[in-house]
Amino acid sequence: MTIRAKHLVGLLLAPLLGACLLAGCDSGPGGDDNDTSQSPRQRERARQVADAWRGSAAATAWSKGYYPMADAVQAPESGWHSKADERASENRNFTLRGELPAATAAKGKVGWPSGDTLTRPLWGAEQAYQSFALDDSTGARLTVTGAKLGTTTIATSRGTATVPAWLFTLDGYDTPLKRVAVTPSKLPRSPIGSTAQGSAGGLWSIPKLAGTAADGRSVTVEAAHGACDDGPVVRALETDESVVLYASVTGAKSGPCTAQMLMQDMKVELHEPLGDRVLLDAVTGRPVPYGQPGGPSPSWS
């Protein structure tokens, strides 16, 4: 294709893509006439969630808050020295040898490249340590020898932010383990209520965001399914303000089945980078959280 032809195709497709985001367009698995995991009722629920959030007070609050979308606990820059140390970190198996700073400021500042800033409550070193150190497993351990207050960067719903962080020195490591020290903003109340699991033609909620691609063109989420089906399917309804994910299962089989919930990571391709659009779950009508609410890296307080 010539450069002129490529340019012409771009000019023709750009308005269509813009119209897609304004009107809302679906992304995800497609093209299979035998796929019954998607229904008009599922898409309609996703549309209702997108419409409810558009221009809402919740959307305004979300756009002004601090919602981390990556791990609040960051490994040393050099990486873990061994598989044993990596397992110790995953198991949150730490030992404290020494003393942690007792006092610190009550507030810390979050800053974005745009110049926007936000002041948030600041965790003390002891609270930050306890968030990632369970200290109740056998096997390999990591030893913390001290801590000081510094900064780090973290992906948020508004892009990468510079935030205060506790820098924990580890025995045998030249660079510290970092733990973000400021608390996330309170999640705004959703402008739309939740719907029941399995409603709207078989919708299931999405409990967790596992990660976002560096270019923002895909997200990986945790989706649920049962023991007697072919697995989950996750689609996205994209608008200029939000991306609503709606999940279901495909290939459900009739007859006796063991009652168990299986979780699977699912990658969802997007038409446009996620950017600062809010990522929503069609079942709950709320933003999809990063991490578990009680874990070391929740999206919000």
252, 175: one domain: no
129, 194: one domain: no
176, 77: one domain: yes
For residue 14, tell me if it sits in a domain. no
Tell which of 154, 180, 206 closes a domain.
180
pLDDT top residue among 166 and 261: 166
Mean pLDDT of 33-44: 66
The model's pLDDT over 170-205, given as tens digits with 9 standing for 90+, comes to 999 999 999 999 999 999 999 999 999 888 778 889
What pLDDT is stored for residue 30 in this prediction?
A: 37
128, 203: one domain: no
What pLDDT is stored for residue 253 in this prediction?
A: 61
193, 174: one domain: no
pLDDT top residue among 104 and 154: 154
The model's pLDDT over 45-82, given as tens digits with 9 standing for 90+, comes to 999 999 999 999 999 999 999 999 999 999 999 999 99
Could you list the residue range(s) of the whole structural domain that residue 29 is in?
24-63+188-281
Total domains present in the chain: 2
Model pTM score: 0.81
54, 80: one domain: no
The model's pLDDT over 88-104, given as tens digits with 9 standing for 90+, comes to 999 999 999 989 998 77
For residue 106, tell me if it sits in a domain. yes
The three state secondary structure string of the chain is CCHHHHHHHHHHHHHHHHHHHHHCEEECCCCCCCCCCCCHHHHHHHHHHHHHHCCCHHHHHHHHCCCECCCCEECCCCCCCCHHHHHHHHCCCEEECCCCCCCCCCEEEEECCCCCEEEEEECCHHHHHHHHCCCCCCCCCEEEEEEEEEEEEEEEECEEEEEEEEEEEECCCCCCEEEECECCCCCCCCCCCCCCCCHHHHCECCCEEEEECCCCCEEEEEEEECCCCCCEEEEEEECCCEEEEEEEECCCCCCCCCCCCEEEEEEEECCCCCCCCEEEECCCCCECCECCCCCCCCCCC
